[in-house]
Amino acid sequence: MEELSSQKTILSGIKPTGQLTIGNYIGAMKNFVKLQNDYETLYMVVDLHALTVPQEPKELRHKTLSIIAQYIAVGLDPEKNNLFIQSHVTGHTELAWILGCMTGLGDLSRMTQFKDKSAKPGANVNAGLYTYPILMASDILLYNADFVPVGEDQKQHVELTRDIAMRFNYRYSDTFTIPEPIIPKSGARIMDLQNPMSKMGKSDSGESGRIALIDEPSLVAKRIKSAVTDSGSEIKFSETDEKAGIRNLLTIYANLTEISIAEIELMYEGKGYGDFKKDLADIVVERLSPIKNRHDDLMKNKDYLEAVLKSGAESAQKKAWKMLSKVYRKVGLVQAVR
Ligand code: AMP
Ligand code: TRP
């Protein structure tokens, strides 16, 4: 039967592996918020993905809830969006098994994120880290998502998802929607403040190089003010390595204010890095403080968060069952009598 609504579906997920950073916010979450009014949206916390690296169980539980609270705090309305935890819905790992049987080892070995993570000294290279893109494909295809808002580093995984979906559709007839990534033109890769040649990561950046959405305002300001810049003084956007620090700060400024980089350059003509950083610190603090306050309030209201999660998971589960039984039937599994 055709879906009653012709509305397109948006889906994305974030791993509860550390504190969400302004990189997550600018690269992905800002888009989640923008898209919530015009689409059917599913935003999940992908806790099963977090298990690819060792986690302290108590902390994992806390971080998972904290990300749900941050989804709401940045402006995702639980009435409009399906907000849920991946492990609350049966079907993700089931579909991943089937998709895994159609994914080549070569495809997985090509994944840049896997190559980077497994090359780190002392890396725990487990099978989950390797097969993780299949679980991500399953997250997306289970809900027939049309669009997937993500930062630059996830583009390759969405492309693999498209390949797997096309392979399945070709072999078993049209089943999955072929998803497209939505990647912001600017801000898809916010860099570490202390080491602007590498990505600002939740867990793999040094503490002082990142800003978490729920950091204390004084700490936020301090980190912006002590961000690495070069020995020059001109506030100019340049693609050279030397200018990576100021380029990153300009990108953050432009994304949080919606003022174009060219205009910002004009505003700071004749001024130095100090003035610019001071203003940027105020801008970031002003944006993050209400998010932190709202998050802190929500974390005190576990009943409310649980109600949001219950309703999010119930509605996601209905969609997941429907797709999973369709896939089971198509690949030749005997239908269970329930
Ligand atoms: P993760 O933190 O790896 O779970 O990523 C969650 C989402 O945030 C994904 O869509 C990432 O692509 C995006 N993201 C993570 N770090 C950054 C960053 N430094 N700049 C822009 N987007 C990011
Ligand atoms: N792999 C993504 C990341 O590391 C998280 C993720 C898991 C995801 N499943 C997803 C993102 C589905 C978008 C859609 O950031």
The two structure tokens encoding residue 207 = 């503490």
What is the atom index within ligand 1 of the atom nearest the CA of 153?
Answer: 12
202 is a catalytic site residue:
yes
Q: Is 41 in the pocket of ligand 2 (CB under 6 A)?
A: no
DSSP state of 212: B
Q: Which residues pair with 162 in a beta bridge?
A: none
Percent of residues in the chain assigned helix, strand, coil, to nearest 5: 55, 10, 35
Question: Which has more confidence, 338 or 171?
Answer: 171
Atom 10 in ligand 1: residue holding the nearest Cα:
150
Residue 283 pLDDT? 98
Catalytic, out of 15, 30, 202, 243: 202
Pocket test for ligand 1, best of 111, 153, 210 (most atoms within 8 A of CB): 153
Catalytic, out of 30, 199, 243, 292: 199
Pocket test for ligand 2, best of 9, 10, 14, 162 (most atoms within 8 A of CB): 14
For the chain, domain boundaries = 9-182+301-331, 207-297
In the reported structure, the alpha carbon of residue 54 is separated from the centroid of ligand 2 by a whole-number distance in angstroms of 18
Task: Show the CA angle centred on residue 21, arms to residues 16 and 25, nearest 5°.
Answer: 95
CA–CA separation, 247 vs 261, rounded Å? 10
Residue 2 pLDDT? 39
In the reported structure, the alpha carbon of residue 309 is separated from the centroid of ligand 1 by a whole-number distance in angstroms of 22
Mean pLDDT of 20-39: 95
Query: What's the topology of domain 9-182+301-331?
Result: Rossmann fold (3.40.50)
The two structure tokens encoding residue 28 = 């992905």
Q: Is 111 in the pocket of ligand 2 (CB under 6 A)?
A: no
Q: Is 202 in the pocket of ligand 2 (CB under 6 A)?
A: no
Contact 28, 59 (CB under 8 A): no
Q: Is 255 in the pocket of ligand 1 (CB under 6 A)?
A: no
The predicted-structure confidence for 117-167, as pLDDT tens digits, reads as follows: 999 888 889 999 999 999 999 999 999 999 999 999 999 999 999 999 999
CA–CA separation, 150 vs 59, rounded Å? 25
Residue 1 pLDDT? 36
What is the atom index within ligand 2 of the atom nearest the CA of 15?
Answer: 5
CA–CA separation, 202 vs 220, rounded Å? 15
Q: Tell me which CATH homologous superfamily contains domain 207-297.
A: Tyrosyl-Transfer RNA Synthetase (1.10.240.10)
The predicted-structure confidence for 208-222, as pLDDT tens digits, reads as follows: 999 999 999 999 999
Is the pLDDT at 332 greater than 50? The verdict is yes
The predicted-structure confidence for 44-99, as pLDDT tens digits, reads as follows: 999 999 999 999 999 999 999 999 999 999 999 999 999 999 999 999 999 999 99
CA–CA separation, 248 vs 220, rounded Å? 16
300 is a catalytic site residue:
no
Catalytic, out of 15, 30, 63, 117: 117
Atom 8 in ligand 2: residue holding the nearest Cα:
13
Contact 70, 295 (CB under 8 A): yes
Residue 290 pLDDT? 97
* Three-class SS state of 261: helix
